[in-house]
Amino acid sequence: MADHKLSSIFLVFATIFAIANAQGLMLDYYKTSCPKAEAIVQRITKQYVGHVPNFAAGLIRMNFHDCAVRGCDGSVLINPTPSNNQTEKTAIPNTTLRGFEIIDAIKSTLEKECPGVVSCADILALASRDAITTINGPWWEVPTGRRDGKVSLESEANALIPSPFSDVTTLKQNFAALGLSAKDLVVLSGAHTIGVGHCFIIRSRLYNFTGNGDSDPTLSPHYVEWLKTRCPPIASDSKSFVFMDRITPKAFDQNYYTMVTQHRGLFVSDATLMTDQETKSYIETQVKTKGSTFADDFAVSMTKMINIGVLTGSQGEIRKTCGAVNQ
């Protein structure tokens, strides 16, 4: 067991240094320029997530959606303006994102502590990690030094963010385009162990899957009936939601995988993971071993994800506020 932990720790740090060194990021980047930066991020994140634990799921999702479009550059945070009223924030996959107020609160505090130093991209990467640890999930190192992007387009977000309606072949292609593997796909999907899914996304699975008023046959019939009690067949209803992991909805554990093996994966993108041998094998192993490697695996995959396409050095900018590019 000790050897397993040591090997996992080694793998995490090997991944960190290989990626960070290649892209110009480093641990403790703000040690001299803003010594309290990471402590401020952690303190404010814990305040919010401690009060509303579901913010942890919101921040992880926001971080992934940011990194999937133009890399991890904080472009998902940019608000629409008269000159650009269609930013990533207004894209269909991002209309249900939560946690922007946390990033704004952190940025406001940091601008008072050390103006123009800490990027919004770094804030999002750090806050996502701190949110997960606040709910007793895994911890991973976050090398910093990211710069903020200046471009944010709704069309790119709609095209590039993996869809909850996609099959596993498409999802693997999406992740490969980001430099992530099939294992990263199934590991990061495990974040669905926390948070909620909105009913409007699954309504067709429940009420009209093939256009004949039927339900998705790959869903457990008992689960379908339960979901129907939470998700009425009202097309205009955009607010109803259900927990992604009905077993332990507020715990960061392996029970999302248990749900998937029981044909209770909420989205098509969850259920489809059982149709690929590699992703299916990982899921079944985590269920059988009660998530023996899930936390370590998640840390490694997150370390890879938060370093996708980062801007460093003189690239991009350090925004004064996270919701707007500098003028």
SS (H, E, C) 111-152: HHHCCCCCCHHHHHHHHHHHHHHHCCCCCCCCCECCEECCCC
pLDDT-derived band at 2 (thresholds 50, 70, 90) equals: very low
Mind telling me the catalytic residues? Answer: 65
21 pLDDT band, cuts 50/70/90, is very low
Q: What's this model's pTM, rounded to 2 decimal places?
A: 0.91
pLDDT of residue 23: 66
Find out whether 219 and 263 touch, Cβ atoms under 8 Å: yes
Mean residue pLDDT across the chain: 93
Give, for 283, the enclosing helix (H) or strand (E): helix 277-288
- Residue ranges of the annotated binding site are 66, 69, 71, 73, 75, 88, 162, 192-193, 245, 248, 253
pLDDT digits (tens, 9 = 90+) for 300-317: 999 999 999 999 999 999
**pLDDT tens by residue, 60-108:** 999 999 999 999 999 999 999 999 999 999 999 999 999 999 999 999 9
Closest by CA position to 89, among listed 104, 102, 103, 74? 74
Contacts from 216-219 at CB under 8 Å and sequence distance 24+?
216/268, 216/271, 218/263, 218/271, 219/263, 219/264, 219/271
Report the pLDDT value the prediction gives residue 24, as an integer from 0 to 100. Answer: 87
Residue ranges for the binding site for Ca(2+)? 66, 69, 71, 73, 75, 88, 193, 245, 248, 253
Residues belonging to the binding site for heme b are 192
Taken in order of first residue, the domains within the chain and their CATH numbers are 2-161 (1.10.520.10), 183-300 (1.10.420.10)
The token duo for 32 is 């001299």
Give the model confidence (pLDDT) of 199-236 as tens digits.
999 999 999 999 999 999 999 999 999 999 999 999 89
